[in-house]
Structure 1
Amino acid sequence: MKETKREFTCGLDAAIAVMGGKWKGLILFALQDGPLRFGELRRTVSGISERVLIMQLREMETTGLLHREVYHQVPPKVEYSLTEFGHALNDAMAPLGQWGEDNIERIESIPWDQIR
């Protein structure tokens, strides 16, 4: 398979490419305090389907945001944890999360059905 290199217009473009989608930020947030198993992640990130969680975790592993540790035991155990790269992105997103908290009432009052 041919590897393609992607060029970005700026740092924000590159960061959004890694973050892409609704769920990755929530997964990063869920893993900030330490490793979680798949079921724990699914319960923590409410609203995500099993299929989408699997896809997002694979993409995040491919981009180097998280590490997947397989424990060869019975029953099998798999844990997901943030890499240094993932922790750095989580730290960079913290101010955005705080902005959301500070403005949540205003954001909730937006007529989203008129925007979508």
Structure 2
Amino acid sequence: MNESKRLNFLKSYLKLYGVEKIELTNETADSISGIAIYDENDPEEKQEFIWHKSEKEIPSPELNILIEKIVTEKWHNGDKITKDIDEIELAEFDNETKKRLEYQLFDVEIKMVDDGEETDSYFVHY
């Protein structure tokens, strides 16, 4: 079975938070939920989440490339981006595309779920 675009994006995005694995718990037309696992050897190191987005509403696949570069180069500290995206050299993208991706990156909000209630959020900022 093909992986959904939402799950593919979440796997990339949640790497910013040190998530090693995602266990999908539910996928509907309007949301995707699961468990973000930070350490597969420690059952306490996990966080339930829900993302209220349809497959059509997800950021462009190009954002995954930017996120992977940020993670690989360690240009972040958890939810804080430590390098100005304008300064990031990406041969794949012109400045206009980088700016569009920056807006998309800072527009993502994935809700954390604790005891069945939406609480905090995964989101990034400068």
Please report the TM-score for the alignment, with normalisation by the length of structure 2: 0.36
Q: Rg bigger for which structure?
A: 1
Structure with bigger helix share is: 1
In the superposition, the TM-score normalised over structure 1's length comes to: 0.39
* Greater strand content: 2
